[in-house]
Amino acid sequence: MAKNRFNHSWLHDHINDPYVKLAQREGYRARAAFKLKEIDEQDKLIRPGQLIVDLGAAPGSWSQYVRQKLAQNSRSEINNLPGMIIALDILPMEPIADVHFIQGDFREEAVLAQLNAVTGARKVDLVLSDMAPNLSGVAVADAARIQDICELALEFAQQSLHKEGVLLVKCFHGSGYSQIIEQFKQRFKVVVVRKPKASRDKSAEIFILGKCLKIAH
């Protein structure tokens, strides 16, 4: 019974969520696009000419926003996007114009080889990660899963970014959070935390932004 009440409550909140309605109106696949939009407008993350990698991209709303932002800066009458977007996910994703999608686990050599085939081994300007684990409700286990996801994104960024590159990851307040922040500070010269208005008040999610690698590969 309690579970049903929870489901009804979530559904009610979701249906009446202004960002859900806005996403539907503006053609985004998920309300998450507005979280990235707010952070981008505050921190000026996305600029013409960048190579941007979107980890855990499905269903694709972050890639949609990036594509739209880059397209705004296009001075060409032809559909040449001033920049490159590569989306990766183990789940399938419906195509998005101008977005290179690679389905697979980015920890695997075969997937990284596909990525390098697209980038030509060029270093990345911006890594985005809206990845989140399936949470069990067991605090200790969930904290470990969250930390693991963040560490995967950090490791990928360490290998892929150029020295002035930027990493944005979703994280959650709770056990292990301070360790994740410390790992960011070990790798980046600038580390800030963002909680966009589009992130629900009830949610423990926050976003960690790392700028300028201390040691670039």
Q: Which residues have a catalytic role annotated? A: 170
Q: Closest Cα to residue 104, out of 144, 56, 151, 66?
A: 56
Q: For the stretch 166-189, what's the b/e string if a residue is b when 16 or more beta carbons lie within 10 angstroms of its beta carbon?
A: bbbbbbbeeebbeebbebbeebbe
Q: Is the dihedral of CA 149, 155, 160, 165 positive or negative?
A: positive
17 annotated binding-site participant: no
* Bridge pairing between strands 84-89 and 99-103: parallel
**Bond into 18 cis (ω within 30):** no
User: Does 201 count as an annotated binding residue?
Assistant: no
43 is in an annotated binding site: no
Query: How many CB atoms within 10 Å of residue 87?
Result: 26
CB 165 within 8 A of CB 123: yes
Q: Is 56 annotated as a binding residue?
A: no
With CA atoms as reference, report the closest residue to 191 among 207, 176, 177: 207
The binding site for S-adenosyl-L-methionine comprises 60, 62, 89, 105, 130
The binding site comprises 60, 62, 89, 105, 130
